[in-house]
Every structure is written in structure tokens, then in C-alpha cells.
Amino acid sequence: MKRQIPLIIIITLGFMFVAHSFIPHKISTEFFDWFQDWVKAISPFAVSLGIMSLFMVHGTKISRKVPNWQYSVVTLGGLIFTAVAGFVWGTQAGTPYMWLFENVQMPMSASMFALLAFYIASAAYKAFRARSAEATVLLIAAVIVMLGQVPLGAMISKWIPETSTWILNVPNLAAKRAIMIGVGLGMTATSLKILLGIERTYLGGGD
């Protein structure tokens, strides 16, 4: 029963939503509205589950003093402090919550993303070599697209931004579309397998 009941729910609701997409009848619209209310009611439980899971994972690490357990203290401390700041003083401008966002989260997140520039520069210098014909094409395309992205490219020649756009519009699109069509077909096949009850791995292993 642990497998049959979830399977029945998924297959029934799956076909009902397929029907809703193609049959704009009053009953189907009402069913959709009813479903919306249920989703709204269920989604807060996902947040509670996430918080509980975070406390369990990091609480265990702290109590067992596993290597680097201090980071878990920071994680839980950050979670509690931010939540309390939001609940007590609100989330509007000038509150401790917004101060945390502007002075801690924002610079830290941006710094992490900015590290990419350094790694790319180092990798470009050390590894981006014209070792073969394919690598040479890639290298030339990269240089043109990089130049096309900054004003200098257009200042050197109007052909640079135009060639950059062509690279993005033609060879890039051909490859992207091929990948997307493949992914799309795969998704359709998997969705059908789930709807028909053939694909069951999402239910977890064992009875």
C-alpha cells in the first residue's frame, strides 16, 4: 500500500491536469482553483521540513563535534538571528533584517560569484591553447564574443559585434536547439512513464 496509494494519487492527478490543460470547461477550472488552495496550504510545510532537516543535520554535527563543527554553529546562528530579526523588527528598509541583507548577505554572495573572474582568467592563461583546429576555432570565437561584449569591440571595427552576434545566433543556437530538443523529448518520455506508472524511482527504494 505504501507504493500503491502514492502511485494512484500521481496517476489520477497527472491525467486530471493534462485534461485541465486541454479542456477549458467550468468543472476543470473549478478543480484547478480548488487545487491552488491546497498547494498554498501545503507549501509552508516544505519550509518547516527544511528548517527541521537543517537543525537535525547541523545539530548532530555540533553534538558529535565532527571536524569543522564550528561552521554548523555559524549556520544555525545565522538562521536563528536572521529569522528573529525578520519576525521582531520586520523586513522593511532600516530594520536589522535589511541591514543583514545589505551588509552581510549581499557582499558575501557577490564575492563568491566574483571569484569566477579570477578562476576564468587563470584557466584562460594556463589552459586555453590552440592545440588543435577545434581548439583554435573555440579560441577565436571566444575572443570575438568577449570583444563584442565591450565597447572596445565596436570601436575597433563594427564587424566585431556583428560577428559576435552571428556566433551567438547561428552556431550557438544550432547546438543549443539540438540539446533542448533532446532534453524536451527526454522530459516528455519520462513524464509519460511517470503518468503510466512505469517510472517509479521517485517513490524511493524498497517496500
Three-state secondary-structure class, residue 149: coil
Q: Which is nearer to other proteins, 156 or 198 (CB)?
A: 156
- 5 or 108: whose CB is closer to other proteins? 108
What Rg do the C-alpha atoms of the chain give, in angstroms?
Answer: 26
3-state secondary structure at position 131: coil
Question: Cα–Cα distance between 144 and 152 in angstroms, integer?
Answer: 11
Is 10 an interacting residue with respect to other proteins (CB under 8 A)?
Answer: no
Per-residue contact flags (x/-) with other proteins for residues 13 to 42, judged by CB under 8 A: -------------------x--xx--xx-x
The interface with other proteins within residues 84-123 (CB under 8 A) comprises 91-93, 97-98, 101-102, 105-106, 108-110, 112-114, 117-118, 120-122
Cell numbers describing residue 7: 502511485
d(CA 67, CA 78): 20
Our finding on whether 188 is near other proteins (CB under 8 A) is: no
9 binds other proteins per the rule CB under 8 A: no
Q: Is 133 in the site for other proteins (CB under 8 A)?
A: no
Closest to 76 (Cα-Cα) out of 64, 60, 90: 60
In the complex, least distance from residue 120 CB atom to other proteins, rounded to whole angstroms: 7
Q: How far is the CB of 136 from other proteins (least distance, A)?
A: 9
Residue placing its CB nearer to other proteins in the complex, 88 or 124: 124
Burial 191-205 (b: 16+ CB within 10 A, else e): eeebbeeeeeeeeee
The CB-side HSE value for 66 (13 A sphere, CA atoms) comes to: 9
Residue 10 beta carbon to other proteins: minimum distance, rounded to whole angstroms: 16
Identify which of residues 54 and 139 has a Cβ nearer to other proteins in the complex.
139
1 binds other proteins (CB under 8 A): no
Q: Is residue 47 close enough to count as binding other proteins by CB under 8 A?
A: yes
Q: Is 130 in the site for other proteins (CB under 8 A)?
A: yes
CA distance 161 to 183: 31
Residue 60 or 103 having the CB closest to other proteins? 103
Q: Where are the alpha helices (DSSP H) in the chain?
A: 4-22, 26-63, 69-89, 96-100, 106-127, 133-148, 151-156, 159-169, 171-195
Torsion angle defined by CA atoms of residues 124, 130, 133 and 139, in that order, rounded to the nearest 10 degrees: 40
Q: Does 126 bind other proteins (CB under 8 A)?
A: yes
Contacts of 63 (CB under 8 A, 6+ apart): none
Q: Which residues bind other proteins (CB under 8 A)?
A: 32, 35-36, 39-40, 42-44, 46-47, 91-93, 97-98, 101-102, 105-106, 108-110, 112-114, 117-118, 120-122, 124-126, 128-131, 139, 142-143, 146-147, 149-152, 154-155, 161, 168-169, 172-173, 176-177, 180
